Structure 1
């Protein structure tokens, strides 16, 4: 457990030996819960039949097998993405069978739109990190094919929003043809009040993002640099890490017969004590 002493307490214990009270807080203790370097290949078309026990650690995609089935779940085919729920002109529906596969030590996420109709979106969820209260979440990613109309919101989302209305923590987020940002949505806020941090970094290069979430404190890192720090109405309920990719929300529309692709080299998750 992290322990922070007040100035008075430090002085009482340290002046006797002529020491100066330290100004830095004690480092948090992280315990690695899950890591995946995507060394088990999975062909496109195997992330199927995922509508089982969704949003729980018992969720699964029956088209997967072995260690991948045990470790990963995907939003089922036909679930609407955010743009569709908000009635945007071009939205998407999740379609894991046509958008997800693992090869060459990477998870590949290729969203696409046909000659007409919706975007085919994709979200994957590491099951070991479902329903965790506080933690550290790291991934290495790039968008290897950029196109207008596609975005990410890799987020922490409450397993139950009772008492945690509007709770959400995002990094990386925003449209793939723009820059990467992080967002800390304030617990029980009205109108979705949030802290936002635009990193100014684009999606096309390899990036490493980290979310650190602990009591009263959210920190966002990109490529080893602190890019955001929020202490306002920090969520305190169990949340899950949803690696969510979907239709754009900034007014851009995915053109017919286009696609865009993200590659993820690894993910890691820690619990906090």
Structure 2
């Protein structure tokens, strides 16, 4: 789902200091990834989602540390496992200022939520925590952005891995995406993981030059209420989505302009229930450039 805006295009918005693959070419609904004509399903998670607002799952189950070092064909350029505590209202703070920024003050894609990192984002118990909820009639959301060498912007081709989980909060979603540095949707868009917090994990690749069409649309059937590692591999020859190391979708269609990662966490198509509240937790983030 493409952003409604970016910080550089909104007046007053500021920056914070089972394996299956399918290729489809289905028109998207107006304004975003939409409802594809064909989806894939696999890796179904049959566990019961946590109720909205339930206590978060343990942050770092044994043996799940952040990956360190290069991979074959990939050079690691950033890894963050959020070991330094930052209270609500303090992120990024001195500990993360050179590595993270985010949207602040703009409306989200649906227009119902507002990016308020000072009210949403904290770091505690080894996780980046996004506490989505409504305050004063306004749904509060956040979109953290990792920096490239301390600068806003990305590169052409890369590997992006995030270990995360979420409470099953109705009315909110992840729309974590690679968004063009040009801020021009026609350069393409890559979304994974995308999906309602009380639904399943989807992925989309929007066709460069015709972004209203999905070159790839996949529904993994997996819920995000348990810990998962979502990975995007973006190469000149195509884009692949992996969930917990298993390929869940691929397409030979590949954007060829610089893009950057946004952990866009927002309302899902409209105003959520006023009492809906819960957490999206990020254990670690690891970014790689193509060698």
Q: TM-score range by the shorter chain?
A: 0.7 to 0.9
Structure 2: gaps (5+ residues): 1-70
Q: How does 1:97-246 map to 2 (within 5 A)?
A: 97-114=118-135, 116=137, 118-128=138-148, 130-143=153-166, 145-161=167-183, 165=186, 167-189=188-210, 191-232=212-253, 234-246=254-266
Query: Matched residue of 2:174: which SS?
Result: strand
1:70 alignment partner in structure 2: 98
Q: Which has the higher helix share?
A: 1
Cα RMSD after superposing both structures: 1.8
Q: TM-score, normalised by structure 2?
A: 0.71
TM-score, length-scaled by structure 1: 0.76
Post-superposition offset of 1:146? 1.7
Question: Residue 102 and residue 147 in structure 1: after superposition, are their counterparts in 2 closer, same or farther (change >3 A)?
Answer: same
**Structure 2 Cα separation of the partners of residues 227 and 128 of structure 1:** 28
Structure 2 distance, partners of 1:140, 1:206, is 7
CA distance in 2, matches of 1:152, 1:39: 23
The unaligned stretches of length 5 or more in structure 1 are: 1-26, 48-60, 85-90
On the 8 A contact 1:153/1:244 being kept in 2, the answer is yes
Query: Moved runs in structure 1, 4+ residues, more than 4 A?
Result: none
Q: RCO higher in 1 or 2 (8 Å CA, sep ≥ 6)?
A: 2
Q: 2:132 aligned with 1:82, yes or no?
A: no
Q: Note if contact 2:180-2:187 (Cα within 8 Å) is conserved in structure 1.
A: no
Q: What residue number does 1:44 align with?
A: 88
1:166/1:185 contact within 8 Å kept: no
Q: What secondary structure does 1:200 align onto?
A: coil
Distance 2:279 2:215 in 1: 28
Deviation at 1:192, TM superposition (A): 3.6
Query: Which is higher, the Rg of structure 1 or of structure 2?
Result: 1
CA distance in structure 1 between the partners assigned to 2:73 and 2:285 by the alignment: 19
User: Which SS does the other structure have where 1:193 is aligned?
Assistant: strand
Conserved? CA contact 1:166–1:192, under 8 Å:
no
* Post-superposition CA distance 1:131-164 (Å, at most 9, x none): 2110000010001x222100001100001055x6
